[in-house]
Amino acid sequence: MLQTRQLAVQRGACTVLSNVNLELQAGQVTGVLGANGAGKSTLLSALCGELPVAAGEVLLHGRPLADWPDLERAQYLAVLPQHSTLNFGFHVEEVVGMGRLPYSTGRQVDAQIVQAALIAADSEHLLGRSYLQLSGGERQRVHLARVLAQLWPGGAGQVLLLDEPTSMLDPLHQHSILQAVRAFADQGGAVLVIVHDLNLAARYCDDLMLLNKGLVFSSGSPEQVLRSEVLQQVFGLEVLVQKHPERNHPLIIAR
């Protein structure tokens, strides 16, 4: 679906990512972890074509990303950035409706999709509200609904890229949002999500990539990546790693 080969990205004379090989799979959620400055957001920017690559390539369905017409690419690839620059008082449904711009499905169909996407993002109660009157967490959920609407209902061949979608959310909504992301993948889509919370990554991701200083330090299943010695090397944090008593995924406990 979406893959990189020997990807490298530079900012000025500094190489900030090097030798990154990644392939997102249908039906799977891939988590990207790493300390601040490790290159996580840079990777996402390269995957969506926002940043040029210094070496290697990014392929969407085997075709170089740069070769895709913008409108066609938008029907397969949606991106939720870490921060939004939207500063107009649009109603919530208008913001979510922006996700339907690549299509000509008509007002009635688009309105149904917007409502369904808001329900999926646990934001239906925000209908009719001005975007500028929302809290940071509410805005984050509205933008998630927007990218879900762009690819609705999700399916094989579609890719969702998310940069820290839980960063401004309370614990309940962290889980509800990642459950919506998980549901998107279960429809056959592929997801890459940048997360800082190791326990959320362990619960919702099928595989993980751990970046350190622009290089892939470790990759594989949560059990393979979330090991105490690995986390201490990358984060400088002493932890205990145990099995979750009910779900059996790794449970990270700071010492």
Q: Which residues pair with 24 in a beta bridge?
A: 2
Q: How far apart are CA 47 and CA 22, in angstroms?
A: 10
Task: Summarize pLDDT for 130-149 with one digit per residue, the tens.
Answer: 999 999 999 999 999 999 99
Question: Which DSSP category does 130 fall into?
Answer: B
Q: Which range of residues forms the domain containing residue 116?
A: 2-254
Rounded distance, CA 115 to CA 97, Å? 9
pLDDT tens profile 148-192: 999 998 888 999 999 999 988 999 999 999 999 999 999 999 999
pLDDT tens column, 59-93? 999 999 999 999 999 999 999 998 877 888 899 99
Q: Report, as an integer, the average pLDDT of 109-126.
A: 95
Beta strand pairing call for 159-163 and 190-194? parallel
Q: Could you give the count of Cα atoms lying within 13 Å of 114 in the half-sphere of its Cβ?
A: 23
Tokens of 170: 């309370």
Q: Within a 10 A sphere around the Cβ of 229, how many other Cβ atoms?
A: 9
Q: How many domains does the chain have?
A: 1
CATH of the domain at 237: 3.40.50.300
Residue 36 has pLDDT above 90, yes or no: yes
